A and B are shown apart, each in its own frame.
Chain A
């Protein structure tokens, strides 16, 4: 092996093959790792990282500047994120899809009275039957002129849902297809209204039927339109989607669909429970933080402007002036709300489930507040008619605009190229800390071999050997705790209900919390298993591994769900970097507990309600926290939401490793 190609041990004097250097080091009585300029023949030119002298200098630089660099990087990341709401980083939205063009349509919908009468009938039949009035819906859709089909589904929930008090859920979806008069049925659009036991959405159903009647009389449809009414909210939507695409992702039992209409290009969901609305709220965040193509939101926004409707995002109005400070601050609030909603990974409406199949979808909610100016069903119907007419012009799936973005306002967006550096800066902190630990480990190894052995000594293997043996145990134990956290609550709910006077849902949540807290007691027990030869360096190796593990996880999460990645990074990175066995242990312990995943969840709930201007008291917050835990576990089983497994199997073990580091020896 060429001498130049060998990784030089830091400070090892032998085996380098440079006569000048070797001569100089052999000439010294006690070789130090400080190299002197050799008087012999000059060294051949080497690269920055393979030249031992320069490497040493670089290492010293990094070690000296590490703390300031970390702090700077963290502050830069947070500051970059906060700056996202301000004008240079936000841009105005614009329609990218040429086929959709401008709002050049003539809306002719006048069926407001018809919609209201349909809504009244629907509400009456629903009250009478208690569930979705399937027969009435079928009859009405057929009279309007659609091809009507039904689909039944059933699902056994993993534990009875406290909020809805159901265990075995079964229902029927009803959908009608309006065939395009002159085109082949190769593509379709979906207009869906979710009906649950708590949200009847009768006006939405009425508007759906009136719009169906109006659309049936037009001849310019090039795609089929499916009008879908689902039962049990999102469970029905999931059942329909799985049957439509012929997959079984979540273990739902659904009967196959008899009527089909081609590939779905876009979907709009409507939730409307009052005859008049003061504003329309749009929800874009979907399951696991997926977002629809920005063009669909742009389409909605242009029709809001055309019809003069008041449209809100996250319940907040659009700031008018972006030049002063008020606009961007309001934008920052909206941005934070969107980040929190996206990080939770919940489908905030039927649209969230469509996104998994790459069908661009939005949910529109009609809000009836105490404003003076109200819009009736005709205005909402015209906006929907315009949207569908424009979607009809599409020739390909929506792909021209952004798929990954953040929204400070309805007409402003931040693209991924501009917001990703924020997470990059935060993860850089972890990288820098890991680099520092690596170099400290190497220096400690050098100190051990300072006996001047000329042989090819690589200080790495001995240190690594010690490190590896003592690392395996904490890793395995943490991962096992994570697995227990993931599996035991649902598996052991019946055992828990037998021994304690709690319901199943409560049992799941309490088991979750119990295992979480039990993990805190671990470090005091694992040390008896591990024998350390170099106690001081064992924790460094463990922390190094934990930092790399955390960085990898957060990096992967940030790529798919930026909000979740950023939120977890912003809370966990400082605690992870600062943790060490020396130093003020109670302080570090408090910091670590306050930034654990569960505490982040609790904190973000409070922040979320605070931003929505409905602040919570401590007791309410705790109740909401418990409900959120139950919802998270339930949604993982019913829709495949990934927040619960990510936190239980990925981040909690990582956090336990840091807890182990803190309580080392």
Chain B
């Protein structure tokens, strides 16, 4: 008895451990495209490709905040309306039919982006426009557009600097809004955007170093624009091979798009991250994995017999005979008053 009791205790402890190490940290995503105008088609295609990948790996729309600065699918210049392609053979329509854009067109501003990150949002904002994260969430932030040394251009009229971004992440850390954060940026001189981070648990990737331009890819004469940027094109190819059970880790992601393919030199930063990148799975950030572990251990549950149960409260009804008698009385009085001959109108 004592032995089974001890075994039982131990088994609970083991199950709890299992729960901790394979814990379901909910992953949240923010994907931002910051460029307007038809000739920046490729930035929207970039963002939608990443969106499509994370949805395929299991993250629901409620956990994704998608910000697109311009509408390419319904632009009058689009010869294939309601589609956004990422490959010039038009194999992959990344717009799909279940895309949910949370911030669209002129709503993609620096202020809105920072409010989404820090959570300082007016109470009337709908839930789909909020980042509902807590201190157990792993967040992926993907940004693309036109950038320079230390800034990213929003909407052709304003910029966000790397210092603002670093401060926003610090606010997130202090408000316990993330557990781990992966920041990917595909712009010119993208590495300058992660230089100033100082909050813990942030890993960052960029498509080019300071002084380099990120190049576009996939020129398509039928549509008339470039369809993708190089870095995101190869990241998408890499992600297409990930399934929810794959064990590829971050080191593989760092190898995506070497200089020979990308022409620019992708960079990454892991010094703020507490875990070793080779132990970090891609699916920690890109997918929502609830791993099911079959165990053959038995867990015995104790009976809580000492606990008293309160008597249940039942509704009270009058007894049935009483009601029958009452109705008989009513009918008798009726026929007494009006005569028995009216019975034929009733029956």
Contacts and interface: CB of A to CB of B under 8 A. Distances in A.
A530 interface: no
A244 B272 CA distance: 64
B225 A220 contact: no
Contacts of A104: 219-221, 224-226
Contacts of B81: 182, 219
A99 B38 contact: yes
A223 to B, nearest CB: 9
A221 B224 CA distance: 12
B211 interface: no
Contact of A221 (B37, B38, B76, B220): B76
A180 interface: yes
Given A104-B220, A104-B224, A218 B79 contact: yes
Contacts of B38: 99, 393, 395
A220 B41 CA distance: 14
B262 to A, nearest CB: 20
Contact of A219 (B79, B221, B225): B79
Nearest to A222: B76
Contact of B221 (A98, A105, A180): A105
B79 A220 contact: yes
A99 B37 contact: yes
B78 interface: yes
B77 interface: yes
B77 A222 contact: yes
Interface string A166-184: 0000000000000011110
A217 to B, nearest CB: 11
A393 B76 contact: no
Contact of A101 (B76, B78, B225): B225
Chain A interface mostly helix, strand, loop or mixed?
A: loop
Interface in B14-39: 37-39
Contacts of A230: none
Interface residues on A, range: 20 to 34
B222 interface: yes
Given A104-B220, A105-B224, A106-B221, A98 B39 contact: yes
Contacts of B220: 104
B91 to A, nearest CB: 18
A182 B37 contact: no
Contacts of B74: 182
Interface in A183-201: 183
B83 to A, nearest CB: 12
A392 interface: yes
Contacts of B75: 222
A382 interface: no
Nearest to A219: B79
Chain B interface mostly helix, strand, loop or mixed?
A: loop
A388 to B, nearest CB: 12
Contacts of B219: 102, 104
Interface string B61-86: 00000000000001111110100000
Contacts of B77: 220-222, 392-393
Interface in A100-125: 101-102, 104-106
B141 to A, nearest CB: 27
A365 interface: no
A389 interface: yes
Nearest to A218: B79
Interface string B209-241: 000000000011110111000000000000000
A345 B309 CA distance: 105
A164 B158 CA distance: 59
Interface string A217-244: 0111110000000000000000000000
A264 to B, nearest CB: 18
A653 B288 CA distance: 87
Contact of A395 (B37, B78, B222): B37
Nearest to B79: A220
B76 A183 contact: yes
A395 B219 CA distance: 20
A105 B222 CA distance: 6
A393 B39 contact: yes
B221 A220 contact: no
Which of A98, A182, A221 has the most chain B CB within a 10 Å cutoff? A182
Nearest to A100: B39
B221 A182 contact: no
Nearest to A395: B37
Nearest to A101: B39
B221 A99 contact: no
Contacts of A392: 77
Nearest to B220: A104
Contacts of A219: 79, 81
B95 to A, nearest CB: 16
A221 B79 CA distance: 9
Nearest to B74: A182
A208 B74 CA distance: 29
A182 B78 CA distance: 10
A105 B219 CA distance: 10
Contacts of A106: 221-222
A147 B134 CA distance: 60
Nearest to A220: B79
Nearest to A181: B76
B123 to A, nearest CB: 36
Contacts of B222: 106
Given A182-B76, A183-B76, A220-B77, A389 B39 contact: no
Contacts of B224: 104-105, 220, 389-390, 393
A219 B81 CA distance: 9
9 tightest CB-CB pairs across the interface, nearest first?
A183-B76, A222-B76, A106-B221, A220-B79, A182-B76, A222-B77, A106-B222, A99-B39, A104-B219
21 contacts: A99-B39, A101-B39, A102-B219, A104-B225, A104-B226, A105-B224, A106-B222, A181-B76, A182-B74, A182-B76, A183-B76, A219-B79, A220-B76, A220-B78, A220-B224, A221-B77, A222-B75, A222-B77, A393-B38, A395-B37, A395-B38
Interface of A: 98-99, 101-102, 104-106, 180-183, 218-222, 389-390, 392-393, 395
Interface of B: 37-39, 74-79, 81, 219-222, 224-226
Given A101-B225, A182-B74, 6 more contacts: A99-B37, A99-B39, A104-B220, A104-B226, A390-B224, A395-B38
